[in-house]
């Protein structure tokens, strides 16, 4: 029997994460960051001004997920623009990087954690360059760089509160933090984890942000600060040089494009796999009538699981940085390819793994995503990351954690995603814009969660489009995840009947917590045309909060 989403699975009032307004909305993983963005809109800025203020503020108040030492992607479409633009500020491999730079065992696994923690795991960071590029080219021009960075500077200098989520992260990663004295000096107190309600002050980070506000990207990538970053990384065994920093380049791309039941999908192309595979996944699912099968019925979840197996097999086979490898983007995003792939799905049993898995990685949720929309129809979605929680090194006196995104490469030679100097590691990030069937701004959406990112974004889009769920309910709904190999992961609130029926079909189930940030942290804004209202939705699996006015 088809299942419908019961009202008890829509804890909007319980969590108070949603917001609605007529002029603008910001949804991010911390309320302070969302408020920073709204302050820019109130001051006369546009959605881009708000996004940059939100992004820099998140690097302060959500320090384990993103920051000046990381990178990411942005998808934007301003009112009057015919096409969306993707800004690629993903980290790059340093010039001294090599395909065999990490030691491996006989099974091809990295020995120790050199690719996933510490200085040798750091790629050349792109966040400062990317956010300032977006502000310079797509901001309103009515606000100065100093105004836009002021909320982040004030939060770093004045302090911010430790939330339950941040307290749990610090507790869980306290041993890792202790290995980095500079990091421990901020996030531990007398050698013990900071607790709920404590205030974290980071004057060193405030000083770096102030220099960026004053000098722009050159204040970070050139001169004394760049040399200090390079020297600090190299002292700890890393290979980033001042020349690597000075040579970093922001890229602009055309988006990965598709449609889903008449809605236009605009997302990130490679070197992220997220956008192309979001389109591919939705294309496969579009060949089936999900609504008739029922929301989170065993029949519907089975289709999701099987479609994801096919998509992840393609991800392992084809994906890498297109500056170094040929990626068949047009083929993977074609409706005809999806229709052929859908014929491989049996309705009464799971398929075996469709292709050998790629070498195992260390999946991480240390990423953040936020969305902004304003009343003029300006849309911005950003996903940015450090990779592993608190695993990167910190240069003493600078206050920000370096990324560990070298671990997103395949760390042995011979893969499309193997390490090469200047190459951008494969990602799953997919900040996404959705237009309605009339071509009007409809949704901005994104999520953290490593390989769970594009499946999570697709599920929320489907909840809205296929099942007519309000945005916050679509975010709150239980999630599933399946790769080309391994078990079918289900959030604990998926119904027992559905779980039982999936098991009877032959799926190997992994039941996770009821509200598990393994499945990401979606932040989205939706334009409700009948009400002419911007609806912000935020994820209770993290510290998410939407703010609107």
Question: Which residues carry out catalysis?
Answer: 367
**Nearest-angstrom CA–CA distance, 430 and 460:** 13
13: three-class secondary structure by DSSP: helix
Q: Give the dihedral of Cα atoms 474, 305, 297, 257; nearest 10 deg.
A: 40
Number of helices followed by number of strands (H, E) in the chain: 20, 21
Give the H or E element holding residue 367: strand 366-374
Cα 193 off chain centre by: 26
Q: Alpha carbon of 468 to those of 271, 432, 490, 498: distances in Å?
A: 33, 19, 22, 21
H-type helices in 22-62, by residue range?
31-42, 47-61
Closest listed residue to residue 146, CA positions, set 225, 27, 38, 56:
56
Q: Tokens standing for 282?
A: 């939705």
H-type helices in 62-180, by residue range?
127-138, 145-158, 164-172, 174-178
Tell how strand 509-511 and strand 488-490 pair up: parallel
Cα 400 off chain centre by: 19
Q: Give the dihedral of Cα atoms 269, 117, 453, 251; nearest 10 deg.
A: -20
Length of the chain in residues, anyone?
549
527: three-class secondary structure by DSSP: strand
**Nearest-angstrom CA–CA distance, 241 and 231:** 8
| Edge-to-edge order in the sheet of strand 432-435 | 19-21, 533-537, 523-528, 441-446, 432-435, 263-267, 256-260
Q: How is the chain split among helix, strand and coil, in percent rounded to 5?
A: 40, 20, 45
**Nearest-angstrom CA–CA distance, 219 and 200:** 25
459: three-class secondary structure by DSSP: helix
Q: Give the dihedral of Cα atoms 54, 175, 428, 398; nearest 10 deg.
A: 40
Burial class (CB in 10 A: 0-12, 13-18, 19+), 414: exposed
**Nearest-angstrom CA–CA distance, 119 and 145:** 30
Question: What phi and psi values does residue 107 have, to the nearest 5 degrees?
Answer: -90, 5
Question: For residues 443 and 265, is the Cβ–Cβ distance under 8 A?
Answer: no
Task: State in Å, rounded, how far the first CA of the chain is from the last one.
Answer: 42
């Amino acid at each position: 029997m088809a299942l419908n989403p019961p009202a008890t699975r829509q804890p909007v009032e319980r969590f108070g994460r949603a917001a609605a307004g007529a002029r603008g909305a910001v949804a991010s993983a911390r309320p302070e960051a969302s408020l920073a963005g709204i302050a820019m809109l109130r001051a006369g800025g546009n959605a881009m001004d708000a996004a940059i203020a939100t992004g820099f503020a998140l690097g302060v108040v959500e320090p384990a997920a993103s920051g000046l030492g990381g990178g990411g992607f942005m998808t934007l479409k301003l009112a009057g623009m015919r096409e969306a633009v993707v800004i690629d500020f993903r980290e790059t491999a340093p010039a001294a990087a090599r395909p065999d730079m990490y030691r491996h065992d006989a099974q091809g696994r990295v020995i120790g954690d050199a690719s996933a923690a510490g200085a040798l795991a750091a790629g050349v960071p792109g966040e400062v360059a990317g956010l300032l590029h977006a502000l310079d080219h797509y901001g309103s021009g009515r606000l100065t760089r100093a105004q836009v960075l002021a909320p982040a500077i004030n939060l770093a200098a004045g302090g911010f509160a430790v939330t339950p989520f941040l307290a749990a992260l610090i507790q869980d990663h306290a041993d890792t933090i202790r290995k980095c004295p500079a990091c421990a000096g901020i996030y531990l107190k007398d050698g013990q984890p900071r607790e709920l309600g404590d205030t974290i002050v980071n004057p060193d980070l405030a000083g770096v942000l102030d220099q960026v506000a004053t000098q722009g990207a050159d204040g970070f990538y050139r001169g004394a600060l760049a040399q200090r970053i390079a020297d600090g990384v190299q002292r700890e065994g890393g290979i980033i040089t001042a020349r690597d920093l000075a040579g970093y380049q922001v890229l602009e791309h055309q988006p990965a494009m598709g449609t889903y039941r008449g809605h236009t999908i605009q997302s990130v192309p490679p070197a992220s796999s997220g956008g192309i595979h979001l389109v591919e996944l939705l294309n496969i699912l579009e060949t089936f009538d999900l609504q008739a099968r029922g929301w989170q019925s065993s029949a519907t979840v089975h289709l999701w699981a099987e479609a994801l197996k096919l998509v992840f097999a393609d991800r392992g086979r084809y994906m890498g940085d297109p500056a170094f490898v040929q990626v068949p983007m047009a083929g993977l995003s074609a409706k005809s390819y999806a229709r052929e792939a859908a014929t491989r799905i049996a309705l009464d049993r799971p398929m075996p793994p469709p292709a050998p898995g790629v070498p195992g990685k260390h999946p991480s949720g240390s990423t953040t995503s936020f969305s902004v929309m304003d009343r003029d129809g300006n849309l911005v979605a950003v996903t940015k990351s450090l990779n592993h929680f608190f695993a990167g090194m910190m240069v003493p006196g600078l206050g920000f954690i370096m990324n560990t995104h070298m671990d997103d490469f395949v760390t042995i030679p011979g893969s499309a995603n193997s390490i090469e100097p200047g190459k951008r590691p494969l990602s799953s990030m997919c900040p996404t814009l959705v237009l309605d069937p009339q071509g009007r701004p409809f949704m901005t959406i994104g999520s953290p969660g490593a390989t769970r990112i594009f499946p999570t974004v697709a599920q929320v889009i489907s909840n809205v489009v296929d099942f007519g769920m309000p945005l916050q309910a679509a975010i709150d709904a239980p999630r599933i995840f399946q790769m080309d190999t391994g078990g079918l992961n289900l959030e604990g609130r998926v119904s027992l009947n559905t779980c039982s029926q999936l098991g009877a079909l032959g799926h190997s189930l992994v039941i996770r917590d009821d509200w598990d940030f393994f499945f990401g942290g979606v932040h989205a804004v939706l334009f409700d045309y009948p009400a002419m209202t911007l609806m912000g939705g935020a994820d209770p699996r993290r510290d998410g909060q939407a703010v609107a006015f």
